[in-house]
């Protein structure tokens, strides 16, 4: 029987098959799902901002760069092989629109770029990127299969 493990905002968790990882409230935030299909282990991070540099400290799971480092360390400790890892991401919406908004305020876009950069840095292929738009997402990640179920309000549900 599987257990649903909830990943909060600015949080990360890992799991083994048959457990599921869940995070809700992805607006401009990004849910990063990393999977080793051979061992059927994986992890999820719910990041809020692109980079920790220049921040005043705090929670490293809040940022794309430092959350990825934490997630990679924990997945490796579970026996995952870096060469088998695959990624799927969701979120990065632009929840509010203001005319003439400077790039610095486009947090969803900046988060997506930072996550993709981190995945490249670790050499992890990005299989699915369900990002952008102006709507929130809730995601369920099945570490047994690698399936990512994405639910949205007024935009339906899909499994990728």
**Chain centroid offset of residue 76 CA:** 17
Cα gap 41→103, rounded to integer Å: 36
Residue 90: which H helix or E strand, with range? strand 86-91
8 Å CB contact between 91 and 108:
yes
Choose the catalytic residue: 7, 20, 29, 119. 29
Cα gap 149→139, rounded to integer Å: 6
Cα gap 81→56, rounded to integer Å: 33
Question: For this structure, is 29 an active site residue?
Answer: yes
Cα gap 4→19, rounded to integer Å: 6
Tell me the catalytic residues.
Answer: 29
């Amino acid at each position: 029987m599987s257990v649903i493990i909830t990943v909060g905002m600015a949080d990360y968790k890992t799991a083994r098959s048959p457990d599921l990882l869940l995070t809700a409230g992805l607006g401009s935030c990004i849910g990063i799902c990393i999977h080793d299909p051979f061992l059927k282990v994986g992890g999820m991070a719910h990041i809020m901002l692109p980079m920790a540099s220049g921040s005043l400290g705090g929670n490293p799971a809040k940022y794309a760069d430092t959350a990825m480092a934490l997630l990679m360390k924990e997945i490796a400790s579970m026996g995952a092989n870096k060469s088998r890892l695959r990624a799927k991401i969701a979120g990065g919406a632009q929840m509010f629109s203001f005319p003439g908004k400077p790039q610095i305020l486009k947090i969803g876009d900046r988060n997506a770029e930072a996550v993709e950069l981190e995945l490249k840095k670790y050499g992890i292929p990005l299989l699915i990127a369900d990002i952008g738009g102006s709507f929130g997402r809730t995601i369920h990640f099945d570490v047994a299969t690698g399936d990512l179920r994405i639910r949205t309000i007024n935009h339906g549900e899909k499994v990728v």
